[in-house]
Structure 1
Amino acid sequence: MSIRMLKTLVAIADHGTFSAAAEAVFVTHAAVSQQMRALEAEWRVQIFNRSTRTPEFTPLGRALLAKAREVVRAYDDIVPSVIGDDGLKGEFLLGAVPTTLTGLTPFATAVLKARFPELHVGLFPGLTTHLINEVDRNTIDAALLSRPAVLPANLVWHQVAAEELVLIASERVSSADPVEVLQSNPFIRFSRDAVVGSIIEAWLQSHNIQVSESMELAGLEAIYAMVQAELGVSIIPEPCVRVPDIQALKRIPLLAEGGPQRHLGLVHRRDSTKTRVIEEILRAISAAVDSGRFCPEAIAAATR
């Protein structure tokens, strides 16, 4: 048995097929099959059920996979733990929901890069459910996302911001009553595939508000553009890091005493070997949230 075989085993789980795993670890499909048969022979167990078209892990195979992940992570952490850089060099793969990509995520990434120039942060956009699965599978190191209703037990949640949901409309909309505005204008819905979309839908239903839906979009920039074009109104999370060119829209609180919120947080595996990097990412995110605005001057101030 070699660490290469264990990495191949993990790659099969992460990428779904022997072919995809072969591409991930830069060997041929035949080499992947040969390595897995060698592991089964050495361990004298059946790792895969090969009666299906795509080999599936047996229950014992999944238990061995969990141990293999631990060994691979420990192996990858040998050098950082000895030389003391704690992983603040090399690559860190960070997922982020689209609503953070125009303010919070680039701000925090810029601060992190300024502090640790030898750390390369790879960004992977996606919706919350997808990103949780990617972190859980160890495909990415951490993700900045909306808090879901249920989080897997092996993941750790660090809340970084609470964003109030607000109604946005063209400045030419005269009413300040959110119910009246929603019922008298086309509604541009935030995608219900996103956690925040589910929060919005739950609020509408709890207040018995019927809307005339005109479109459903996933990105804040697209929603802003549609509202600015007076094609409807929308409910969005008020970004904790504001972008200057979105100030022209009218913002109406959903409730006088404060409306519903979506909670943003950083998620990573409980057994992550990159805790030092995660600590620094949380510091960078905190600096971005404390600033509250996305501009070169604010980023420069946060990196001093």
Structure 2
Amino acid sequence: MNLKQLEVFIAVADSGSFSRAAESAFLTQSTVSQHISSLEKEFDLKLLDRTGKGAFPTEAGKLLLEHARRILQEGRDVALALNRFRGLAEVALKIGGSNIPACYMIPDCIFSFRENYPGVVITLYQGDSRETLERLKCEEVEFALVGTTFAEKDLVFTPLAPDRISLVVPAGHRWYGKKDIAVEELLDEPLILRESGSGTGSSFRDALVRANLDPDQLNVSLCLGSNEAVKQAILNGAGISFVSELSVRKECERGELFLVAVRGMVISRHFYLVTRRGRSLSPAAEAFVDSILQRFGLE
């Protein structure tokens, strides 16, 4: 059974005539007869009663007619959906992002993207880097932005522009306005850290080791699951922390937070655009990736 046979069957049933069906389908009458005979042979059922007054569906033919109409409509809907997909109209795009990309980088690209592609509905899934990559591997999202790399042979990591992670203190803190501090001074302050799996947290711990400071010696006051939670905790006086400069730009401009340099510690890391190796992106995903690369790609 194929769609053409169903089209011919519907044409015969609707017109009540093999000849009229042949005309409407631009086929010969013998070809129409062959299509109907093939259907009857496949189902081992008589589908049309041939009479002197015309061709009429049998009870089995009526049942097939009901389903055939739905099948052909679904076929037309498939073509319409794929054409919309290709034309970026009424398309759903699912993106994954770890905390910094999801809160600051991806939203920064959405406005201009929506101006050019208003028919694309974007769903953003946020989590730490590991959770985000799991979503990508399970094909819950088409691509992802994360703050660290992992040994994943099925994923492709494309580095984006670097981001600096700096020590941030709130207004009123004794280090507010101070040019720099020694790395050992960190031991005397309550520190707010990110959760395990965070790209920011991993970069900070690696920098401590390079500076010959044992992370276990830190006075950790809180361990929080998002950059926004860390930022709010700093603003509320719960401690100080190392966070992405990208994430506190506005608060620093308003004087609510202040970046303090730590002598001997420079923490710079890349964000990564991650895709599945050997898999094609949808047109909507390709267009959004282009927006990300234009805004945050390496020069």
Both structures adopt the same fold (TM-score exceeding 0.5)? yes
TM-score with structure 1 setting the length: 0.61
Q: Confirm whether residue 260 of structure 1 aligns to residue 267 of structure 2.
A: yes
The letter for the 2-side match of 1:225 is Q
Distance apart, 1:243 and its partner CA: 5.2
- Give the Cα–Cα distance (whole angstroms) in 1 for the partners of residues 120 and 197 of structure 2: 32
Aligned counterparts, 1:1-304, within 5 A: 83=83, 86=86, 88-89=88-89, 90-150=91-151, 152-171=152-171, 172-174=173-175, 175=178, 176-209=180-213, 210-239=217-246, 244-247=250-253, 248-255=256-263, 259-289=266-296
RMSD: 2.8
Distance apart, 1:197 and its partner CA: 1.1
**Residues 181, 263 of structure 2: 8 Å contact kept:** no
- Give the Cα–Cα distance (whole angstroms) in 2 for the partners of residues 103 and 220 of structure 1: 10
Change (3 A) 1:142 1:164: same
Change (3 A) 1:119 1:148: same
**Residues 165, 254 of structure 1: 8 Å contact kept:** no
The letter for the 2-side match of 1:216 is C
Counterpart of 2:220 in 1: which secondary structure? Answer: strand
The letter for the 2-side match of 1:183 is L
Distance apart, 1:178 and its partner CA: 4.7
Distance apart, 1:238 and its partner CA: 1.9
Change (3 A) 1:267 1:236: same
Q: Please list every run of 5 or more consecutive structure 2 residues that lacks an aligned counterpart in the other structure.
A: 1-77
The number of residue pairs the alignment matches comes to: 210
Q: Please list every run of 5 or more consecutive structure 1 residues that lacks an aligned counterpart in the other structure.
A: 1-77, 291-304
Change (3 A) 1:87 1:184: farther
**Residues 170, 257 of structure 2: 8 Å contact kept:** yes
Q: State the Cα deviation string for residues 191-216 of structure 1 (Å, max 9, x = none).
A: 22213212211222332333211111
**Residues 94, 123 of structure 1: 8 Å contact kept:** yes
Counterpart of 1:105 in 2: which secondary structure? Answer: helix
Bigger radius of gyration among the two: 2
Same amino acid, percent of matched pairs: 19
Change (3 A) 1:230 1:109: same
Q: State the Cα deviation string for residues 39-81 of structure 1 (Å, max 9, x = none).
A: xxxxxxxxxxxxxxxxxxxxxxxxxxxxxxxxxxxxxxx9599
- Give the Cα–Cα distance (whole angstroms) in 1 for the partners of residues 161 and 79 of structure 2: 34
Counterpart of 1:134 in 2: which secondary structure? Answer: helix
Change (3 A) 1:91 1:243: farther
Runs of 4+, deviation exceeding 6 Å: none
